[in-house]
Structure 1
Amino acid sequence: MSVSFMAMLGSMILLPLYLQNIRGLSALQTGLLMMPGGLAMGLLGPTVGRLFDRFGGRVLVIPDAIGIMLALAGFTQVTMTMPYWQLLGLHALLMVSLAATFTPVFTLGLGAVPPHLYSHGSSILSTLQQVSAAFGTAPVITMMSARADVLKSAGVTEALANLDGMRVAFILGAVLSVAVVVTALLLPARADNSGEFHGVG
């Protein structure tokens, strides 16, 4: 879950920067383009919880971890003219895959501790989310800026330098997503006492 948050937050910072600074969209247009993915992520929560109760975690997490990897790999191919429908599709795939990953992983994490420790486990998971989000943002922006500065000093135009910097930063997110797939393969279908704790959301 921590690695997923690192990849997600890094990408979620890069995509608006790309849309506004490279493609010239307004803040409103950027928000509208990203809105379907955000809505899908929010609305899928209850459905994912029911699917977890029925099928367990591995059936959900493994394919959706692969979905995260494919979406982030797609973002590494951004260009000055990538179609907006393709950007929307990649973002929607990322958000849907994340939604179907977070709920099972969160539930498996809490289901692995005794019931009287649920409050502590929930606090630890929430803290890990926030720390991972912050930790994932810093290297992404640093890599983007460093790459762009190198290209600008070599005479590349600002727009192309920033675009290449974003590609490098998206590559970092894609590399992190590989770790998500690997850890997903290690997850159990259910926690030992999952009968006492059902899918959240």
Structure 2
Amino acid sequence: MVDLGIKDYSTIQWLATGYMLVSGVLIPASAFLMTRFSNRSLFITSMAIFTLGTALAAFAPNFGVLLTGRMVQAAGSSVMGPLLMNIMLVSFPREKRGTVMGIFGLVMITAPAIGPTLSGYIVEYYDWRLLFEMILPLAIISLVLAIWKSENVMEQNKNATIDYLSVVLSTIGFGGLLYGFSSVSSDGWTDKVVLTTLIVGAISLVVFIVRQLKMEEPLLDLRVYKHPMFALASVIAIVNAVAMFSGMILTSAYVQNVRGISPLASGLMMFPGAIVKGIMSPITGKLFDKYGPRILGVLGLTITAVSTYMLANLQIDSSHTYIILVYTLRMLGMAMVMIPIMTNGLNQLPTRLNRHGTAINNTAQQVSGSIGTAILITIMNSVTKTKAESLMTGRFFPSKYQYTLIPIYHHYIYRLASKYSLRYFLTNHQYVTI
């Protein structure tokens, strides 16, 4: 935000939301792509696009180019998750999928969890471009290895055709909802563009769903929801995605802006949670193969719910140790739920529906993560504005606390005041009269 001259979270969050938006739009087509093209050619093409986007972001001169690079990255990576999951489903029997999916979780879930710690260190001590420069050689190596070593293990139908109207409806539906919800935090719920995109997106999505249910060969076969265990797993995965993405962003915002903790220290506070989540993914996979999903799911959801309540009630004087323990406990609960429940849901599907099941899972998580994060950041901005204004006018805290809280909130209020045209009030030191 400082280096790029961005003043509010609603704008900078597009580096995450824009990525998820493009992924959410393109992932529904992954089922068709995996049917039409070989897994080898599909992965090589996707990795090449991702590498191009990484290079564009690494050398971006401004926020616009950086955002473009992120969206190109998303265009390349959108098919990789569903593709990898399908290769695993084809390559391993059902009784071993829990262990394999646990390793998958170690790779795909732990990486975002470690992100805040690693990026906090880089942003504080190095240029932010290193975030992409360090990924670029790894992407190139992956591309070279794919060209050299990858093999085709999935069946393909070269005669498969795509329904272009479904693609258009999917793009407008998911894209409209994602854009609308992502713009709410900056433009408000009454903005005409926000309302228009939300309404058009919702209508398009309804038409898309009805069309898919009537087609013999749909772009995204929603009949997978006729399998109860898959439907339950999908709902739980959606809740988990909202909790995970929004929790990482909002916790970082709290410890940095409210508590005045540096980006590096903020990342280090979240690091134990990432470690626990990484360690637990393979373990929960093996436990799933042995005991099934029920015990892990109930226990994991209980831990997640309790720790989320504790995280939602943090105070200005909550100790660093307490924040770390609660955040780590929350990650433990999510790790116990995500892989076992997802694996159990996919195990209920016949082989012919695997492509659609994985595409729907990834679409639901991307869309729900983006929408959930946008809504919660909107709430954060609204509550922050209200309480900051109350603090400045002496309405929020009893008089005996007003002077002691000034040093803690000074920097935070100043940044908010800059946004809400109250800088004169602070720069003339009149805030002392609060």
Q: If the length of structure 1 is used for normalisation, what is the TM-score?
A: 0.75
Closer, same or farther in 2 for the Cα pair 1:74/1:3, shift >3 Å? same
Give the distance between the partners of 1:17 and 1:122, measured in 2 at CA: 32
Does residue 1:127 correspond to 2:363, yes or no?
A: yes
- Aligned partner of 2:249 in structure 1 is 13
Question: Identity of counterpart residues, as a percentage?
Answer: 31
Give the distance between the partners of 2:409 and 2:354, measured in 1 at CA: 49
Which residue of 260, 264, 271 maps to 1:28? Answer: 264
- Aligned partner of 1:100 in structure 2 is 336
- Aligned partner of 1:192 in structure 2 is none
Closer, same or farther in 2 for the Cα pair 1:137/1:111, shift >3 Å? same
Shift of 1:92: 0.7
Give the distance between the partners of 1:7 and 1:37, measured in 2 at CA: 14
Does residue 1:83 correspond to 2:319, yes or no?
A: yes
Shift of 1:100: 0.8
Give CA deviations for 1:141-196 in whole Å, capped at 9, x if unaligned: 11111122223333247949x8xxxxxxxxxxxxxxxxxxxxxxxxxxxxxxxxxx
Give the distance between the partners of 1:25 and 1:151, measured in 2 at CA: 20
- Aligned partner of 2:292 in structure 1 is 56
- Aligned partner of 2:104 in structure 1 is none
Does residue 1:2 correspond to 2:248, yes or no?
A: no
Closer, same or farther in 2 for the Cα pair 1:16/1:59, shift >3 Å? same
Which residue of 66, 71, 74 maps to 2:307? Answer: 71
Secondary structure of 1:44 counterpart: helix
Give the distance between the partners of 2:301 and 2:259, measured in 1 at CA: 29
Does residue 1:146 correspond to 2:403, yes or no?
A: no
**Structure 1, unpaired ranges of 5+:** 163-201
Secondary structure of 1:143 counterpart: helix
Higher relative contact order (CA 8 A, sep 6+): 1
Give the distance between the partners of 1:109 and 1:82, measured in 2 at CA: 39
CA RMSD of aligned residues (A): 2.0
Give the distance between the partners of 2:378 and 2:409, measured in 1 at CA: 17
The structure 1 segments of at least 4 consecutive aligned residues displaced by more than 4 Å after TM superposition are: none
Shift of 1:84: 1.0
Secondary structure of 1:80 counterpart: coil
Give CA deviations for 1:1-27 in whole Å, capped at 9, x if unaligned: 101111222221111111111111111
User: Partner letter of residue 282 of structure 2?
Assistant: P
Give the distance between the partners of 1:28 and 1:142, measured in 2 at CA: 25
- Aligned partner of 2:353 in structure 1 is 117
Give the distance between the partners of 2:327 and 2:316, measured in 1 at CA: 17
Secondary structure of 2:383 counterpart: helix
Figure out how many residues of one structure are paired with residues of the other and give that number: 162
User: Partner letter of residue 76 of structure 1?
Assistant: A
Q: If the length of structure 2 is used for normalisation, what is the TM-score?
A: 0.36
Does residue 1:40 correspond to 2:255, yes or no?
A: no
User: Partner letter of residue 26 of structure 1?
Assistant: S
Give the distance between the partners of 1:85 and 1:103, measured in 2 at CA: 28
Shift of 1:30: 0.8
User: Partner letter of residue 367 of structure 2?
Assistant: V
- Aligned partner of 1:177 in structure 2 is none
Give CA deviations for 1:103-128 in whole Å, capped at 9, x if unaligned: 11111221111023223211211111
Shift of 1:32: 0.9
User: Partner letter of residue 59 of structure 1?
Assistant: I
User: Partner letter of residue 369 of structure 2?
Assistant: A
**Structure 2, unpaired ranges of 5+:** 1-236, 397-405, 413-434
User: Partner letter of residue 125 of structure 1?
Assistant: N
Give the distance between the partners of 1:67 and 1:129, measured in 2 at CA: 20
User: Partner letter of residue 311 of structure 2?
Assistant: F
Deviates more, 1:53-62 or 1:144-153: 144-153
User: Partner letter of residue 129 of structure 1?
Assistant: Q
Give the distance between the partners of 2:309 and 2:257, measured in 1 at CA: 21
User: Partner letter of residue 109 of structure 1?
Assistant: G
Give the distance between the partners of 2:281 and 2:313, measured in 1 at CA: 30
